[in-house]
């Protein structure tokens, strides 16, 4: 049986050496994460990578086969009653009774936590489903149900929130509304642990991320830090008719290649530090430029570099 004890009280979540088997398959393999107070921390990776299993172990919904966990200084299995008013959980897959109305669900959850029903309606408005308060649960679309469950997870204003694939299946407008809601939680000092396979979402929201693949953590860090560490190269597209440009730019320190593609020169550089030399070269050679674009690698590029496959596979 795994042993649980309170680790350092300086962190909101501490999980060390988590292992979980499903039959003979090791779903998570020696996973360790630390989440700081007031940050948005993301578990990112493709579907089936072990993100949800890791989160469910930390939440206390699924017992790992080995490892240690502390949530707000408490054991998520032994101290369930002490944690339930301090955390909010939105599950990736959840259901309510078909013939419960949205307003009835809000009233029921508010009564469980001793909070105001008005707070629930405010959340519905923020999530763009305020007009659905009198609708049956079974009449809601998949995205509307997802937003309702987020509202229920936040109705008691928890200090720590777990969000599992929070914007899956939502349209861009609804996704942006939820992103603003999550950012607002952080601005009020809340802590968020979320899972997502959407790299743009992780880049827009997360202060730090853990990249998970095949049940193991590949690396942890701030999104921009991970990009600098693993994908320092830059691609620059320079539009110019000057025939001298390619050969001149190829000689700049830090430039890997400079090849003409129509009216553009595509420059591959080892790092962003080559940018100064490129600009100085263009100025010194009096090369006329009508457009200059830099393409910055993303978390998706980092994932591909670290794992050898796309996050969408």
221 with 256, same domain: the answer is: no
Is residue 141 situated within a structural domain? yes
Is residue 236 situated within a structural domain? yes
Token pair 């086969």 is found at 65
Is residue 170 situated within a structural domain? yes
Q: How far apart are CA 225 and CA 157, in angstroms?
A: 31
Token couple for 263: 């009216």
Nearest to 71 by CA among 17, 4, 19, 18: 4
CATH number of the domain to which 152 belongs: 3.40.50.300
How much is the pLDDT for 3? Answer: 39
98 with 189, same domain: the answer is: yes
CATH number of the domain to which 255 belongs: 3.30.70.980
Biggest CA-to-CA distance, the chain: 74
Q: Region 102-118: what's the mean pLDDT?
A: 94
How much is the pLDDT for 311? Answer: 77
Query: What is the count of structural domains for the chain?
Result: 2
Is residue 28 situated within a structural domain? no
Residues contacting 242, CB < 8 A, separation 6+: 285, 287, 288
Token couple for 14: 């501490």
How much is the pLDDT for 98? Answer: 87
How much is the pLDDT for 232? Answer: 93
158 with 285, same domain: the answer is: no
Q: Give the distance from CA 197 to its chain's centroid.
A: 8
Name the pLDDT band for 17 (thresholds 50, 70, 90): very high
Is residue 157 situated within a structural domain? yes
**How does pLDDT run across 248-293, given as a tens digit for each residue?**
999 999 999 999 999 999 999 999 899 999 999 999 999 999 999 9
With a cut of 60, say whether residue 65 has pLDDT above it. yes
45 with 178, same domain: the answer is: yes
Is residue 214 situated within a structural domain? yes
Name the pLDDT band for 312 (thresholds 50, 70, 90): low
264 with 207, same domain: the answer is: no
φ, ψ (nearest 5 deg) of residue 114:
65, 35
Q: Return the SS3 of 203.
A: helix
158 with 43, same domain: the answer is: yes
The CA-based dihedral angle spanning residues 172, 104, 95, 59, taken in that order and rounded to the nearest 10 degrees: 80
With a cut of 80, say whether residue 151 has pLDDT above it. yes
Tell me the C-alpha to C-alpha distance, in Å, between residue 300 and each of 54, 85, 104, 175, 199. 21, 36, 41, 19, 6
149 with 265, same domain: the answer is: no
Structural domain containing residue 125: 38-53+79-228
With a cut of 70, say whether residue 1 has pLDDT above it. no
With a cut of 90, say whether residue 16 has pLDDT above it. yes
């Amino acid at each position: 049986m795994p042993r649980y004890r309170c680790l350092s009280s300086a962190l909101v979540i501490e999980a060390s050496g988590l292992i979980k088997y499903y039959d003979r398959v090791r779903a998570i393999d020696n996973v360790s994460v630390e989440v700081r107070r007031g940050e948005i921390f993301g578990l990112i990776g493709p579907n089936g990578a072990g993100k949800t299993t890791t989160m469910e172990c930390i939440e206390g919904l699924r017992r790992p086969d080995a490892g240690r966990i502390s949530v707000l200084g408490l054991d998520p299995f032994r101290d369930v009653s002490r944690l339930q008013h301090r955390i909010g959980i939105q599950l990736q897959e959840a259901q309510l009774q078909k013939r419960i109305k949205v307003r009835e669900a809000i009233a029921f959850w508010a009564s469980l936590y001793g909070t105001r029903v008005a707070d629930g309606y405010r959340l519905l408005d923020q999530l763009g489903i305020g007009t659905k308060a009198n609708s049956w649960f079974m009449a809601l679309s998949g995205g509307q149900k997802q937003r309702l469950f987020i509202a229920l997870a936040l109705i008691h204003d928890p200090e720590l929130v777990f969000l599992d694939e929070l914007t899956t299946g939502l349209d861009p407008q609804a996704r942006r509304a939820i992103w603003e809601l999550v950012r607002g939680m952080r601005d009020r000092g809340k802590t968020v642990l979320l899972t997502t396979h959407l790299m743009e979402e992780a880049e827009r929201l997360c202060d730090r991320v853990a990249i998970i693949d095949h049940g193991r953590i590949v690396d942890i860090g701030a999104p921009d830090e991970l990009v600098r560490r693993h994908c320092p190269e830059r691609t620059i597209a320079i539009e110019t008719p000057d025939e001298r440009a390619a050969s001149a730019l190829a000689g700049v320190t830090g430039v890997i290649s400079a090849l003409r593609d129509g009216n553009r020169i595509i420059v591959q550089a080892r790092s962003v530090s080559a940018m100064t030399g490129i600009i100085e070269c263009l100025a010194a050679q009096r090369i006329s430029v009508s457009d200059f674009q830099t393409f910055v690698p993303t978390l998706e590029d980092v994932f591909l570099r670290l794992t050898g496959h796309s996050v969408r596979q």
